[in-house]
Amino acid sequence: MTKNRRNTRIKRRGFLGGAAASTGAVMLQSLATGIPAKILLDPLSASAEDLPSGRVLILSSSRSGDPINANVPGTYGAGLQNVVHAPGATMAETPLTLAGAATTAALPWAAEENGGIMRQTDLDRMVFFHHATHTPVHGDMARVQRMMDATEKNDMLISLLAREIAPNLGTVQTEPLSLGANGGELLSYEGRLLSNVAPLSVQQALGGVDGPLKDLTAMRDTQIDRIYDIYRQTGTTKQTQLLDAWVRSRDEVRSISDTLIGKLGEITGNDQLNQVKTAAILAAMKIAPVITVHLDFGGDNHNDAGLANEVTRHLNTLPVLRALLEEIEALQADVLVGSLNVFGRTLKKKGLNGRDHNRDHHCMLLIGSGLRGGIVGGLREEGNDFKAEGIDSATGNADPAGDISFEDSLGAAGKTLGAAMGVDPGRLDEILPPGKIVQSLFT
């Protein structure tokens, strides 16, 4: 065996070992039938509680503390004239609407009909959650994922949410899956460090365009016949009704097969565009309840004359974010898209010479069905920079006397993320005690 062939096999086995293990076939059978993997393995265990609920999370995470917080809705307007934005027409303040509410942001964030990059349909379900992460240290990315050590059993929030939502989603694995982690961005689950999986490895593991996805229609018929036979002999009427509710049509399966094979063929590397393409495929296949990618909105731009690098990376990355949303739509997947970096960047301190670390302001982005687009929280000037404000949980408005304090704003962002995934609010209080869910975001 040649070295290259051996490495390919190792990568394939590694992905299947982490993402599917001995249930690799079940992963495909679930995709082919629409029946949760748990029920395929034990048909007689089916109950109404097994009807899928919740949604997969695709989360962008960066230990660089990208300046995504510097140009979004909520950083312009009354009292924010001293917030520094890149000069020139490319990042000019531009009107946009979020679910009918008028606001402004840097031009690339606006709808394409107003000269921006985004689609209005996406803006209408896009939330900009202003809060603090309370750390200026790159190496604290894992602590931020643990909500600054406030989570249950000191585990990463997204790992706790993944474990909570996986049974409802019927995903193949419970652990989160990372496609673009660098060093300090690696995820942990129950104290165990998880490895990163490259998009090209995913493509190889799924067999590429000549892999098992082409056999989904035949797989569908075989599995449905098998389970109908079981229910006919020893099942209940309710279980047969549940099966009818789960089952995909042959035309739907054929369409899924053709679409996924085509999408797999489009994976050509491991960069951020290929990460989002792969993330959409894995979300549609319900491989994992949480999938992380790395989107670059400017990186660690301490010395960024005229904020030129920040501008270039926004212009390069916002089309990737849009592509992610389009991929999800094409695959007809119900997915929540979000972002969580280790910290934000300063908004005033260095002017146009660059941005330092800002422990007091970060902006979490949330996009998904069931969300009402808008701005949560806000900014206030203090000293030589700006920091996040307290929040009213009922309205999402910035309020220094709000029931979400500045100190608890990270917890509130984490809880709201969990609620958007479909986790029970009572359970969220146990997973993450600080903060409250911002109720105004939900339609």
Compute how many other C-beta atoms are within 10 angstroms of the C-beta atom of residue 190: 12
| Domain annotation covers residue 190 | yes
Distances 249 to 55, 114, 228, 282, 328 between C-alpha atoms, Å: 22, 41, 15, 21, 20
Tell me the percentage of the chain whose pLDDT exceeds 70: 94
Neighbouring C-alpha atoms within 13 Å toward the C-beta of 196: 17
pLDDT value for 35: 87
Show the 3-state SS of 136-167: CCHHHHHHHHCCCCCCHHHCCHHHHHHHHHHH
Q: Supply the CATH number for residue 182's domain.
A: 3.40.720
Confidence band, pLDDT 50/70/90 cuts, at residue 165: very high
Q: What average pLDDT score do residues 439-443 get? A: 94
Q: Which helix (H) or strand (E) holds 381?
A: strand 379-382
The pLDDT tens digits for 88-144 are: 999 999 999 999 999 999 999 999 999 999 999 999 999 999 999 999 999 999 999
In a domain, residue 256? The reply is: no
Lowest mean pLDDT of 27-31, 175-179, 381-385, name the range. Answer: 27-31
Rounded-to-integer distance, Cα 55 and Cα 46, Å: 20
The parent domain of residue 185 ranges over 52-206+270-441
Question: For residue range 330-374, what is the model confidence (pLDDT) as tens digits?
Answer: 888 999 999 999 999 999 999 999 999 999 999 999 999 999 999
- Asked whether the predicted pLDDT for residue 380 surpasses 60, the reply is yes
Residue 113 lies in a domain: yes
pLDDT band for 214, please (50, 70, 90 cuts).
confident
| Burial class of residue 120 in the structure, from the number of CB atoms within 10 Å of its CB (0-12 exposed, 13-18 middle, 19+ buried) | middle
The pLDDT of residue 422 is 96
Least confident residue range of 42-46, 152-156, 386-390: 42-46
Q: Is 159 inside any structural domain? A: yes
Looking only at Cα atoms, what is the longest distance across the chain?
74
> How many domains, in total, are found in the chain?
1
Count the neighbouring beta carbons within 10 Å of the beta carbon of residue 138.
16
* Closest alpha carbon to 170 in 56, 57, 328, 44: 56
Contacts 24+ apart (CB under 8 A), 187-191: 187/145, 187/156, 187/158, 187/159, 187/292, 188/142, 188/155, 188/156, 188/159, 189/155, 189/156, 189/159, 189/162, 189/163, 190/153, 190/155, 190/159, 191/155
Mean pLDDT for the chain overall: 91
Q: What is the pLDDT of residue 24?
A: 60
Q: Show Cβ contacts of residue 278 under 8 Å, excluding neighbours closer than 6 positions.
A: 179, 199, 202, 203, 267
pLDDT tens digits for 413-438?
Answer: 999 999 999 999 999 999 999 999 99
3-class DSSP state of 96:
strand
Token pair, residue 258, equals: 């053709």
User: What confidence score (pLDDT) does residue 2 get?
Assistant: 40
pLDDT band at 208 (very low <50, low <70, confident <90, very high): low
Which structure tokens are listed for 286? 């319900």
Q: Which of 421, 422, 425, 427 is closest to 437 using CA atoms?
A: 425
- Domain annotation covers residue 218: no
Exposure string over 215-230, b if 16+ CB within 10 A, otherwise e:
ebbebbeebbeebbee
Domain-located, residue 426: yes
pLDDT at 6: 33
Looking at residue 404, its pLDDT comes to 98
- The answer to whether 220 touches 248, Cβ cutoff 8 Å, is yes
The pair of structure tokens assigned to 36 is 């949760």
How confident is the model over 45-77, as pLDDT tens digits? Answer: 998 878 778 999 999 999 999 999 999 999 999
pLDDT greater at residue 245 or residue 273: 273
- Within a domain: 43: no
**End-to-end Cα, the chain, rounded Å:** 56
320 domain residue, yes or no: yes
